[in-house]
Chain A
Amino acid sequence: MHGPTSTGIPTRKLGMWTFIGSECMLFGTLISTFLIYRGRNVVGPYPEELLNIPFITVTTFVLLMSSLMMVLALAAVQRGQRVGSMLWLFMTALFGLIFLTGQYIEFSHFVHEGLGLSRNLFSSTFFVLTGTHGAHVAGGVIWLGTLCILSLRGRLPPERAETVEIAGLYWHFVDVVWIVLFTIIYLLQ
């Protein structure tokens, strides 16, 4: 499917944006549920006892910076800088992986403290909300890792920058969701 499009926007990019629009409703519903059930726990442990703000600030920072790596990767691909593309894509995926590791540490800490998935409403909503986000991050890491290998093999010339741009849109959206979740879950207790 070639040629100019009716809107001037590349078709795959428009597709990604519509998908992102749909994802807004997905996370919107999850956030609603989290907020509706806030403070309705019958048994502990309660969120204020367990949420570790300094720790999560660090992983939040890592995810935020991965977005920077992502735009740098895209810029490198667009300019045809092969080493740069590879390096920045790798860094983006790596930072995503660090974020996921942080999430794993946080989850296992909660479980260790007796806050399993079905302990109370906080744990149910928290794990499903952050878990859904984490699954999105994991998908992104796999996607970016694949792109990194492609660029290693020299298969990401500037003409294919759109492929990276679309992955980038997804990645930034996942980051934006975390900006919201960080505030709502951790800071607005």
Chain B
Amino acid sequence: MSEHSGEPHVSNRFYVVIALILAVLTAMEVMVFYVEALSPVLLPILLVLMAVKFALVAMFFMHLRFDSRVLTGIFGWCLFLAAGIILALLAVFGKFTT
């Protein structure tokens, strides 16, 4: 069916670079948290940083970038549905109205 290769053709150096990026992003998250001036936009910034880290791990460490798209589909749909349920529950409990 879909093209797929189990073993990604990337070097250890590549993984180290990804890990470094992740470490830097984490440091940025914590810094953003402590900067008073950013507090009005704290939520969107942190959510974006979180999403980027999440995507980096999923794409490169979990090899979704190199693997069958069926797997990305499964994970993506489950994430979509989980996010949907979270948002729907928060909405029903009035977390977005006040």
Q: Is chain B in direct contact with chain A in the complex (CB below 8 A)?
A: yes
A-side interface residues toward B, CB under 8 Å? 6-10, 13-14, 17-18, 20-22, 24-25, 27-29, 31-32, 35-36, 53, 57, 60-61, 64-65, 67-68, 70-72, 75, 78, 161-162, 165, 168-169, 172-173, 175-176, 179-180, 182-183, 187-188
* Chain B: minimal CB distance from A55 (Å): 11
Dominant secondary structure of chain B at its interface with chain A: helix
A7-B2 contact given A71-B15, A176-B58, A179-B57, CB 8 Å threshold: yes
State A10–B70 Cα separation when bound (angstroms): 12
Q: Given A29-B85, A36-B95, A172-B61, do A183 and B19 touch, yes or no (CB 8 Å)?
A: no
Shortest distance from the beta carbon of A85 to any chain B beta carbon, whole Å = 13
Q: Give chain B's interface residues, CB within 8 Å of chain A.
A: 1-4, 6-7, 12, 15-16, 18-19, 22-23, 26, 29-30, 32-33, 42-43, 46-47, 49-50, 53-54, 57-58, 60-63, 67-68, 70-71, 74-75, 77-79, 81-83, 85-86, 89-90, 93, 95
Contact A8 B86 (CB under 8 A): no
The smallest beta-carbon distance between B43 and chain A, in angstroms, is 6
Q: Judging by beta carbons under 8 Å apart, are A179 and B53 in contact?
A: yes
Kindly report which residue of chain A lies nearest to residue B52, judged by CB atoms.
Answer: A179
Q: How many A-B residue pairs have CB under 8 A?
A: 130
Residues of B within 8 A of A173 (CB): 62
Among candidates A17, A25, A72, residue contacting B74 with C-beta atoms closer than 8 Å? A17
Beyond A78-B7, A172-B61, whether A14 also contacts B71 by CB under 8 A is yes
CA distance A9 to B54 in the complex (A): 23
Contact A32 B86 (CB under 8 A): yes
Q: Is the CB of B75 within 8 A of A21?
A: yes
Which of B46, B57, B77 makes the CB contact (< 8 A) with A183?
A: B46
Residues of B within 8 A of A70 (CB): 61
